Structure formats: structure tokens, C-alpha cells
Amino acid sequence: MTHGIEVAGERLDLHAERAVFWPAKRILFVADVHFGKGAVFRRAGIAVPSGDTDDDLARLDALIAWYAPAQIVVLGDLVHGAPGRHSDWVERVRAWRARHGDVRMRLVAGNHDRHMDARLLGFELCPDRVAEPPFVLSHDPRPDERGYVLAGHVHPGVVVRDGWRKHRLPAFVFDASVGVLPAFGTMTGLHEVIMEPKRRIVAVTPGGLLPLTSAQGSRTGSAPTLR
């Protein structure tokens, strides 16, 4: 369910629900929530099931119950697009936010967040990058001289083998100066990353978290093997 890791001298707790908790500051990080993505697709005539927002809110509820965070920081893309005239997901998010009035909630704006003012959902809107020493909180995973970057945006994933089968799994990725969280939202794709020396990858499997090492793969991108 969880996996501890040290980053920039701080202990972080990775959770299988694709979140990171920083115990020293009691901050829960998630990235790429993409509230309302299903509604955007359905307005475009793409047949996708409803309920994605409710599922993601329930997962956030479970994380709040697990960690009791003082605040939640979304590392970009809280929403997917502008709400339509009948987008009832907006009211559900507002009601959820009201139930957790004692938890500070901040959004580091991502590229999709231009479609809606996050303050209408009860979130504080932060500039492009926020220094939270020793970390810099960002949506875009570019290095920053002020500290170790925690970011989202790319929806990282990894391919692992289980015998003859391949599985594409969301993953946490930690390089020398940048760490990237998997997308939190239910309806999000994956961008495959490869094993490299000194890169730490923790895959999110149906059975929990699986730390991977460069010894399990190659720089050419061959898939690690589940053992």
C-alpha cells in the first residue's frame, strides 16, 4: 500500500493510490487529477462511462482518512477542461471541498487549469512554481536551482513483464533533481519511461507498490520482470 523513500534529505511516503505524503510538513501531493475529463469526452461525442469524478473524490477521501494531512497540494491539472452548462461534477467537487474545510488545498497551475479558475472549487491558486524547501513544487518537470522539483504533467508509466504477459503500469519516477508523480485521475493515459542508471522507479501494481531498479531493465527500454 505504501513505500517510504528519501528524497532531498526528506522522507516521503508513496501511496498506491498514486499520491505522495510528506510527513514532516503533513502535505499530501497528487498530480493530474483532471476532474471533469469524462464530461468533456461525452460532450465531444466520445462514449465513456460516467462516475470518474466520484471515484477520484472517494480515493481522495480515503487518503485524507489515512494520513490526516494539514494540506493537499495538486501539482497541476486539477481540471481537464471548461465545465459545460450541465456539468454537475463541479457541484460535487465543491461539496467535497466543503466537507474538508479544515484541510488547506492548493493548486500549482498546470496547462489544463487555464480552462477554469480553481478558486471556484475552493482551491488556492499558486503561480507556476512554488518553493517549499527543500522542494520546488511544479507542474512542469524541469530542474530548478532552488531545490528538488516535485512535478506531474507527463503521466509516467512503466512496462513490466509477468512471464509472457506485459503490463503497463503507472509509476513514480525520481531522478537526480526531479521527481514525477503518476497521474491521479482515473481517466488518464501513460507515458512510458525507461530504466536508467540512478533512476528510481516505483510502479503502481494492482497488488501494491513495486520498486524497480536499473538492474531489472536496460537503457534501451527492455521491460523489467516481475518475480
pLDDT band at 34 (very low <50, low <70, confident <90, very high): confident
Distances, alpha carbon 91 to alpha carbons 35, 38, 57, 97, 155, in Å: 12, 15, 12, 10, 26
pLDDT at residue 227, rounded to an integer: 36
- Out of 34-48, 190-204, 213-227, least confident range: 213-227
Digit-coded pLDDT (tens) for 51-83: 578 899 999 999 999 999 999 999 988 885 555
pLDDT in tens, 93-117: 999 999 999 999 999 987 866 767 7
pLDDT band, very low/low/confident/very high, at 188 (cuts 50, 70, 90) = confident
| Greater pLDDT, 164 or 89 | 89
Sign of CA dihedral 128, 202, 16, 34: positive
Q: Residues near 206 by Cβ (< 8 Å), separated by ≥ 6? A: none
- In angstroms, the CA 69 to CA 140 distance is 24
Q: In order of start, what are the domains of the chain with their CATH numbers? A: 2-216 (3.60.21)
